[in-house]
Structure 1
């Protein structure tokens, strides 16, 4: 169902003196099926394994003018939110609503309960470009001391030959002539990266690159979203957590230190 050949380029612009290499690990990301007929009528529920999870991270990749409500979160399109210490019991149903919880978009059902602390990423996305139906994609982050980046593809329509090109930025200290360092990463995979400052973006959109500050042990989500041919919901990336303010502050401090 998801595109398995789409790739992005992941560029390092760390403030450290030496650029560090990426450690790529490909894993299987669990995907789900349609849960509603697009009219808020429940057609089937999804059973998926949510092991080793206490923090629930939900990202809204469903292109709709109004925000989506799930549990205590109110998520506009292209935003994410987290609920810490979530009690996920077997058979628990997670409902997604629109219009201030008046319209049911779809439901996600928990099959297994978490066994230890971890983070579950749950993405709401469109089924296709022809209906208002929804589907889900999920990934359970492993417990690790490394910064983990999960890259998911929620772009519609999904095309196995699609390639998402990404801007590359150079290391700040190498900006005066050194070669840039960048990597192309396959979507629907997980990457373990060293701590540092990174940039990721889509060349095809002409938009600015998204900033990413990877910290040891952090769980990071990068999701390609949008609908082909849409003026309002063009191709874009969700990057969570949002590191733009942190990186801007660090860059300002670094510039001040050298002037």
Structure 2
């Protein structure tokens, strides 16, 4: 079963995730990136484990410290279509998220890593895009497995 989006994205997007040899694509929408837009990346760890993830964009580590279970951190790395976000546990890849495109407006990109299913240690990803609005916005995700 593919992860589901429970909050409608404010901008179009698509993703491809490689989770320990599993390749999944869900093209719910398309990101389109224009130059000069401010994109913040908020990463949350919903993977139940005592181990914490280090986060990389390509080969560049963007997390100052490993991200623990139930932790979230915000980054402002330079990103472009085709970049890969890599999640590592103890120097070993747990999974990766490929950015197909980016929104054509200022936005907060939310990426949640969680357990794919209760019978394995494979990871899965859920993503959402928050537009740059004055009003509060919320996304509710059920990642319990």
TM-score surpassing 0.5?
Answer: yes
**Which one of the candidate residues 67, 70, 82 is aligned to 1:75?**
67
Larger-gyration structure (1/2): 1
Q: How many residues align?
A: 129
Q: 1: CA distance between counterparts of 2:72 and 2:9?
A: 22
Query: Which residue in the other structure is 1:147 paired with?
Result: 136
Structure 2 stretches of 5 or more lacking a match? 57-61
The answer for the alignment partner of 1:224 in structure 2 is none
Q: What does 1:113-152 correspond to in 2, within 5 Å?
A: 113-152=102-141
Which stretches in structure 1 are left out of the alignment for 5+ residues? Answer: 6-25, 157-259
Matches within 5 A, 1:207-218: none
Of Structure 1 and Structure 2, the greater helix share is in 1
Q: What TM-score, normalized by structure 1, do the two folds share? A: 0.44
Scaled by the length of structure 2, the TM-score of the pair is: 0.74
Q: CA RMSD in A?
A: 2.9
From 10, 23, 43, give the equivalent of 1:44: 23
Question: In the alignment, what sits opposite 1:107?
Answer: 96
Runs of 4+ in 1 over 2 A off after TM superposition: 1-5, 26-37, 42-53, 113-116
Distance 1:134 1:148 in 2: 26
CA contact under 8 A between 1:98 and 1:105: conserved in structure 2? yes
| Shift in alpha-carbon separation, 1:69–1:89, aligned structure 2, 3 A | same
Q: How far has the Cα of 1:27 moved from its partner?
A: 2.2
In the alignment, structure 1 residue 56 sits paired with structure 2 residue 32:
no
Greater relative CO, 1 or 2 (CA 8 Å, sep 6+): 2
Distance change >3 Å, CA 120–CA 34, structure 1 → 2: closer
